[in-house]
Amino acid sequence: MLLNVSENMLDSRRREFLRDSCCGLGSVALATMLETERAQAETRRTNPLSAKPSHFSPRATSVIFLFMSGGPSQIETFDPKPLLNKLDGQPRPAEFQEAKYQRIRKDAKLLGSKRRFRQHGDSGIDVSDLFPYTAHCVDDIAVLRGCYGDKVVHSAAQYELFSGRTFPGFPAMGSWGLYGLGSESESLPAYVVMPDPDGALEAGQPMYANGFLPATYQPTMFGSGQSPVRNLEMPPGVTSSQRRKTVNLIRELNQANANPGDDELAARIRAYDLAFRMQTQAPEIFDISGETKETLELYGVGVEPTDDYGRRCLLARRLVEQGVRFTVVVSGGGPGNLQWDAHNDIEENHLRMAAQTDQPVAALLTDLRRRGLLETTLILWGGEFGRSPEAQGRKGRDHHNVGFTMWMAGGGIKGGQVLGATDEIGMHAVENRCHFRDIHTTILHQLGLEQEELTYLHEGRQERLTLIEGRVLEQIL
């Protein structure tokens, strides 16, 4: 797929294609079909976000990324290390080699985990007692224990997790997905980020952004205030019927001196109609009063400490139902200790963060499954890195990018299995190592997109999400 810098050029290519494919059909019998095709073509032509065919048959149509910002520990969650517990308080044996750290001192000692692991589900996968709810869903989950990234500081690692680059300016995976597939939802934004109301993350807004892709592919941030989506609410005192008239006026005035067949201007007219629809229909997404009590309880809505993350996970499900392509639900924000960034006290931090998210995450999996949506919804769970086997201070853990755990579920992922491993103290990923790029490649693959074909010409290079490489994690499909 050769796509170019200019939306106009893109449009005109589609136009040429359409002309070539439409002319010459004169048969009356074909007229109706042609008419439908024409209507669809009109949509494609004038809406850059209209659904586009994938490169091959997709398994997933939506992606939800449960982003545990700050870096959850592999050792306390999905990767039990008996030897580490045995070596608690001792210096790291030389055989485990070095890792680059941010704050760990040379004389640091290994820190065993206080968490208890138990095997769960038919698959018997180890999950710690931090995640009693998620443990119930483990047969849906493919645990990736051999993850690694290139950077050990938050901002660079977060950029890499989202865009495959350790610096800002490149499109995030959500924007790439949108660019490749368009949106299935007419009246909702197609790529949604729900940040944690506790505050910002180190990499800031550029982490989620469209980089050099057109603004069409930018994320929509859902705030936590009264009006979660920017500009969806009409100004005070303006009624919907009045606004309809204004939109109609804009259309009339614009059509009055437009050339028939002018696609760019047709696209603008269409954008206003779509905006009007979004304005009336999108707020419905936030109205969860129609959800059953059982569902609300499942997500832990209305109860602390799960209310906030539970609400956002529930919203994520509602978005998926409406065909939203890519949703990020962020856990953690603001100062490090309000993220999973447990420098001071791994126990205090992770018990608190897990209590906020475990039930909602499991609820999302359960809810999607019972609605038949899990098959087409790919879930990714994890942070920008894991945490160090060595102690920072007495009971904290530092950042750790050379071996940690993420997991995937749904969207064609075969659950109930573990892929990859770290060494015996949870230091380095040693088996079936999995870079962020491999995760990106796998996500694209499940969406029916070929990593080499999803490119965009920028600064003389056909850029792509996966830089120059990336492997589909075949074992978990």
Partner 1 sequence: MSRVLDLLGFSVVCMVSTCAVAADNTGEGRSANRSADDEYSVSERNHWSFVERSNPLPPMFASESDRNWIRSPIDAFVLRQLRKTGLRPAPPADRRTLIRRIYFDLTGLPPTADAVQQFVQDDSPEAYENFVDELLTSPEYGERWGQHWLDVVRFAETEGFEYDRHHADAWRFRDYVVDAFNSDKPYNQFITEQLAGDELEFSPDDEIGRRTAQVAAGFHRLGPIRRNAGNPEVAFSRNEVLTEMTNIVGTTFLGLTLGCARCHDHMYDPIRQKDYYQLQAFMAATHDVEIPLADEQTRNRWQEKTKQVEAEIDRLTTAIETASEQDRSRLNEQLEKSRAQLPARLPALFSVKNDFSNRTAIHLLEAGDEFKKGIPVGMRTLGILSRAGESANPPDLSNPRLGLARWITNPTHPLPARVMVNRIWHYHFGRGIVSTVNDFGFNGDEPSHPELLDYLAERFVSNGWSVKSIHRLILLSNTYQQSSIHPAEHHAKTIDAQNRLLWRFRRRRLEAEEIRDAMLAVSNRLNRQIGGPGIMVPVEQEMIDLLYKPTQWQVTEDVTQHDRRSIYLVAKRNLRLPFLEVFDQPDLQTSCGTRVASTHAPQALEMLNGKLSNELASTFAERLRIEAGDDIADRIHLAFLITTGCPPTEQQETAAAEFLKAEPLHEFALAMFSLNGFLYVD
Site for partner 1 in 279-308 (CB under 8 A): 279
- Please say which residue, 164 or 416, places its beta carbon nearer to partner 1: 164
By CB under 8 A, is residue 18 in contact with partner 1? no
Cα–Cα distances (Å) from 15 to 22, 42, 291, 394, in that order, read 10, 10, 44, 65
Given a contact cutoff of 8 angstroms between Cβ atoms, the answer to whether 464 and 429 are in contact is: no
Between residue 46 and residue 75, which ones bind partner 1 under the rule CB under 8 A?
48-49
Q: Considering beta carbons, is residue 14 or 114 the nearer one to partner 1?
A: 14
CA atoms within 13 A of residue 23's CA, in its CB half-sphere: 5
Tokens of 324: 């939203």
Cβ–Cβ under 8 Å, residues 477 and 414: yes
Q: CB of 275: closest distance to partner 1 in angstroms?
A: 3
- What is the rounded radius of gyration, in angstroms, for the C-alpha atoms of the chain? 24
Site for partner 1 in 189-248 (CB under 8 A): 189, 195, 197, 199-206, 209-212, 214-216, 218, 220-221, 223-225, 230-235, 238, 242-243, 245-247
CB nearer to partner 1: give 83 or 457.
Answer: 457
352: which 2 tokens?
């608190």
**Site size toward partner 1, by CB under 8 A:** 81
Sign of CA dihedral 146, 152, 158, 164: negative
In the list 68, 278, 301, 346, the residue contacting partner 1 (rule: CB under 8 A) is 278
Nearer to partner 1, 79 or 202 (CB): 202
Contact 432, 157 (CB under 8 A): no
Subset of 91-110 contacting partner 1 (CB under 8 A): 100-103
By C-beta, is 21 or 231 nearer to partner 1? 231
Site string for partner 1, 390-409 (x = CB under 8 A): --------------------
| Binding of residue 272 to partner 1 (CB under 8 A) | yes
Span from 118-126, 266-274, 346-354, 415-423 in contact with partner 1 (CB under 8 A): 266-274
CB of 400 to partner 1, least distance (A): 13
Give the shortest CB-158-to-partner 1 separation in angstroms: 9
Task: In whole angstroms, give the CA distance from residue 267 to residue 6.
Answer: 15
Of the ranges 9-17, 29-37, 353-361, 400-408, which one interacts with partner 1 (CB under 8 A)?
9-17
Q: Which stretch binds partner 1 (CB under 8 A): 83-91, 131-139, 288-296, 451-459?
A: 451-459
- The CA-based angle 145-314-352, given to 5 degrees, is 55
275 touching partner 1, by CB under 8 A: yes
Smallest gap, in angstroms, from Cβ of residue 443 to partner 1?
Answer: 23
Minimum gap (Å) between residue 463 Cβ and partner 1: 10
Q: Which of 122, 256, 260, 287 binds partner 1 (CB under 8 A)?
A: 256
Whole-number Å distance between alpha carbons of 312 and 211:
25
Does residue 35 bind partner 1 (CB under 8 A)?
A: no
Tokens 């290079």, residue located: 461
> 112 or 195, CB closer to partner 1?
195
Residues pairing with 183 in the sheet:
50
Question: With DSSP H G I counted as helix, E B as strand and the rest as coil, what are the percentages for the chain, rounded to 5?
Answer: 40, 15, 45
Concatenating the DSSP letter of every residue in 402-460 gives SSEEEEEESTT---SEEE-EE-TTS-SEEES-EEHHHHHHHHHHHTT--TTTS-EEETT
CB of 439 to partner 1, least distance (A): 21
- For 264-271, the CB contacts below 8 A with 24+ separation are 264/8, 264/11, 266/42, 266/45, 266/46, 267/11, 267/45, 267/46, 267/47, 267/48, 269/46, 270/46, 270/47, 271/47
- DSSP run (H or E) holding 326: strand 326-331
* Min dist. Cβ of residue 155 to partner 1 (A): 4
Q: Which is nearer to partner 1, 36 or 227 (CB)?
A: 227
User: Does 460 interact with partner 1 (rule: CB under 8 A)?
Assistant: yes
Cβ(466)–Cβ(455) below 8 Å: no
Contact positions with partner 1 (CB under 8 A) in 147-176 = 153-156, 167-169
DSSP 111-137: ------EEEETTTTEEEETT-HHHHHT
Max intra-chain CA distance, the chain = 84
Nearer to partner 1, 23 or 29 (CB): 23
CB contact at 8 A, 213 and 82: no
State the nearest-atom distance from the C-beta of 214 to partner 1, in Å. Answer: 4
Q: Minimum CB separation from partner 1 for residue 246, in Å?
A: 5
Least CB distance from residue 209 to partner 1, whole Å? Answer: 6
Least CB distance from residue 117 to partner 1, whole Å? 30
**Nearest distance in Å: CB 188, partner 1:** 10
